[in-house]
Chain A
C-alpha cells in the first residue's frame, strides 16, 4: 500500500495537474502549488474520497502545506478507524 504522503501527492498532482515528483512536503498548496480557492475545495473532497474519511471543512481548509496535510489526514484516519501506511 502506498504511504499517506504518496497518496496525498498523487491526488494533489491529479487535481492541480502537476508532476507528483515535484511536490514536496514543505510546499504550500496555494503559494507554491498554485491551488485556487475552488481547487482547495476539490482537494479536500478528493482526499476524503481517496482515504474514505470525512473531514471538517474549516480544519481541512486551514491546512497549508503538503506535510501538514499528511499529519492531518493521518490523524483523521486514525480517529475514523481507517488503516493507512505511514
Chain B
C-alpha cells in the first residue's frame, strides 16, 4: 500500500512540474514490466533465481520501484518467468502473468534492466519498439489502436509481434549489465535517492550522547527509528537515511552514503559507506559498500564488503569476504561455475543467494558466488569461488548433504521466526530452481566425491 501511495505522490509532483493534462493520461496508461530473457537473467544470479529482475535493489529501492516512479504510471502489471509466477502473485498486489493486461488502453512495456535515472522515452505518442545494440527489446510503446493487431496469447508472442509489426528504433537507454554493477553504483544511487526523497532531520529518536558529523541536512531519521547512546552518524561524505523502526545500538558507526531499511537493527556495527540494508536485517561487525536484502542477518563480527546478499541469508559469526585481491587486479566472477567474467573492477566481494547459511568462520573469496539455499561449513581457508545452489559445502567439498527437504525445513523455521510463512507456491518455485541448477551442482558433487576419495 505504501509503495502505491509513494508512487501517487511522485506522480502528483511530476504532474505539477510538467503540466497536468499529459500526466493524467500517463497515470492511467498501463506499465508492464517484462522480465528479461533467460540468458540475460543469468547475469543477475543468484538473486534472480528467485526474484524478477526488477526486485534487485540499488540505493533506497528496487529497480522496479524506480522505473514505476520515473514513468509515472499508476497501473502496473508484470510478466515473470513462469516458474516463479505463483509465488510472486501471492507476494505482490498486482497482475502477474495475466495476458488480459495486454488488452484495452495504451500500454508501455519496459525491460527492468533500464536504469530509471536515464529513462527519457515519452510514454505518450505513436507506437514504437526500442531495441538495444543486440536487437533485444528494451521498451515498447503500444497505442490502443495497434494493440488490437497484436496477438495476446502470451507475452513472448506479443513482444515478438510488436517487434515485427511496429516501428523499431535504436535505443541507447542505459541498462544494468551485471549484478555487481548495482553494488558499484550503490553509493551514488543512495545520494541521488536521498535528494529525491526530500526528507531530512530527526523525526525519530536520537538518545544522547550520540555524535552527528557532517551537515545535519544530510541525515534523516524516520519516525519510530531509535539511535541509542554512543552511536556515531557520519554524513561528512554522504547522506544517511535511517528508515522507520530501525534501531541503532551503541557503538555503531554509520558512514554515509548509507540507507538502513525499515525495522533493521545495527548491533554495534561498523557500517561503512555505500550500504543499503534491509528491511528487517540484523547487522553487526563491519559492512561496506554492500546491498543486503530483507530478513538477512550478519549479527556478529566479520567483514562483508562489496557484496550483494539476498533474502533470508544468515552469515555466521566471523564470516568474512574478500573484496580486493592481493595484487589489486580486476576481480573475476563465475556466474555459471564455468565462465570467468572480468568485472573490470578491483572491488567485488560476494554474490550470495536467498536462504544461504554460513557457519562460523566462513571465508569467502574475492568475487565469489554462493548459490541460493546453499549451506556452507567453514574449512579454515577461503572457499572455492563458485558454490552451486542447494549445495551442502561440507568438509571442503560440495555434497548433496542432507538434501533439499532439510533445506526447506530450515527455510521454513527461519521465516517462521520472523512471522513469515513458507508457502506451497514458494516451495514449487524452489523445486524449479533446484532442477534448473542441478547440472552444475551434480558436477560439483561428483568432483567432491572424487576429492573425498583421494584424501
Chain A positions near chain B (C-beta within 8 angstroms): 37-38, 41-42, 44-46, 48-49, 56-58, 61
* Segment 379-438 of B: residues with Cβ below 8 Å from A: 392, 394-395, 399-405
What would be 14 A-B contacts, judged by CB atoms less than 8 Å apart? A41-B399, A41-B400, A41-B401, A45-B399, A45-B400, A48-B449, A49-B449, A57-B400, A57-B401, A57-B402, A57-B403, A58-B405, A61-B402, A61-B403
* B-side interface residues, number (CB < 8 Å): 17
Is B400 a contact of A49 with CB atoms below 8 Å? Answer: no
Q: Which residues of A contact B452 (CB under 8 A)?
A: 42, 45-46, 49
Q: How far is the CA of A18 from the CA of B377 in the complex (A)?
A: 25
* Nearest CB in chain A to that of B445: its residue: A45
Is B400 a contact of A44 with CB atoms below 8 Å? Answer: yes
Residue of B377, B445, B450, B452 with most partner-chain A CB within 10 A: B452
Cβ of B245 within 8 Å of any chain A Cβ, yes or no, is: no
Cβ of B453 within 8 Å of any chain A Cβ, yes or no, is: yes
The 9 closest A-B pairs by CB, nearest first: A57-B403, A49-B449, A45-B449, A57-B400, A58-B403, A38-B394, A41-B399, A41-B401, A45-B399
Is B395 a contact of A42 with CB atoms below 8 Å? Answer: yes
Chain B nearest Cβ from A42, distance in angstroms: 6
Q: How far is the CA of A57 from the CA of B404 in the complex (A)?
A: 8
Is A38 a contact of B377 with CB atoms below 8 Å? Answer: yes
Q: Which residues of A contact B278 (CB under 8 A)?
A: none
Q: Which residues of B contact A61 (CB under 8 A)?
A: 402-403
Cβ of B285 within 8 Å of any chain A Cβ, yes or no, is: no
Q: How far is the CA of A68 from the CA of B17 in the complex (A)?
A: 76
* Nearest CB in chain B to that of A50: its residue: B453
Is B449 a contact of A46 with CB atoms below 8 Å? Answer: yes
Q: Which residues of A contact B449 (CB under 8 A)?
A: 45-46, 48-49
Q: Which residues of A contact B399 (CB under 8 A)?
A: 41-42, 45
Is B392 a contact of A41 with CB atoms below 8 Å? Answer: yes
Q: How far is the CA of A41 from the CA of B416 in the complex (A)?
A: 27
Question: Of A41, A46, A48, A49, which is within 8 A of B402 by CB?
Answer: A41
Q: Which residues of A contact B404 (CB under 8 A)?
A: 57
Q: How far is the CA of A61 from the CA of B448 in the complex (A)?
A: 18
Q: How far is the CA of A41 from the CA of B453 in the complex (A)?
A: 13
Q: How far is the CA of A45 from the CA of B445 in the complex (A)?
A: 9
* Nearest CB in chain B to that of A57: its residue: B403
Is B377 a contact of A46 with CB atoms below 8 Å? Answer: no
Is A49 a contact of B450 with CB atoms below 8 Å? Answer: yes
Q: Which residues of B contact A48 (CB under 8 A)?
A: 449
Q: Which residues of B contact A46 (CB under 8 A)?
A: 449, 452-453
Q: How far is the CA of A56 from the CA of B402 in the complex (A)?
A: 10
Since A42-B394, A57-B403 are in contact, a sample of 8 more A-B pairs with Cβ atoms closer than 8 Å, ordered by chain A residue number, is A37-B402, A38-B395, A41-B399, A42-B452, A45-B448, A45-B449, A48-B449, A57-B401
Proximity string of chain B (348-378) to chain A, C-beta cutoff 8 Å, 1 when within and 0 when not: 0000000000000000000000000000010
Q: Which residues of B contact A41 (CB under 8 A)?
A: 392, 394, 399-402
Q: Which residues of A contact B453 (CB under 8 A)?
A: 46, 49
Chain A nearest Cβ from B360, distance in angstroms: 15
Q: How far is the CA of A86 from the CA of B449 in the complex (A)?
A: 24
